[in-house]
Amino acid sequence: MTKTFTPNDVIRFIYGEVSSACERKEITDALISNSELGEFYIEMTSLKRSLNKIKREPSKRSVDKILQFSKNYNLHALS
């Protein structure tokens, strides 16, 4: 009996969250034999690479607002 894999299974595969070597092999076989699933895999790996390139820094304005808030906020010691 051939197991049917979903896009969620492919995403788990891409992120290394597949539970066993046997399941990894089954998903690999499914990606080769199922063109729709294979195309989804290609699209998702491309998207993952793109997401990893995104600059993840707060804007200067955000940092300035946080710093200004912290200067104006009066913290009391808990002693």
Q: Closest Cα partner for 13 from 33, 32, 31?
A: 31
pLDDT band at residue 18 under the 50/70/90 scheme: very high
Global model pTM greater than 0.75: no
Looking at residue 75, its pLDDT comes to 55
Q: Which pair of structure tokens corresponds to residue 34? A: 């199922």
Q: What are phi and psi of 12, to 5 degrees?
A: -60, -40
Q: What percent of the chain has pLDDT over 90?
A: 65
Q: What is the pLDDT of residues 39-73, one digit of tens each?
A: 999 999 999 999 988 888 889 999 999 888 888 77
Domain boundaries, the chain: 7-72
Q: What is the Cα–Cα distance from 10 to 68, expressed in whole angstroms?
A: 45
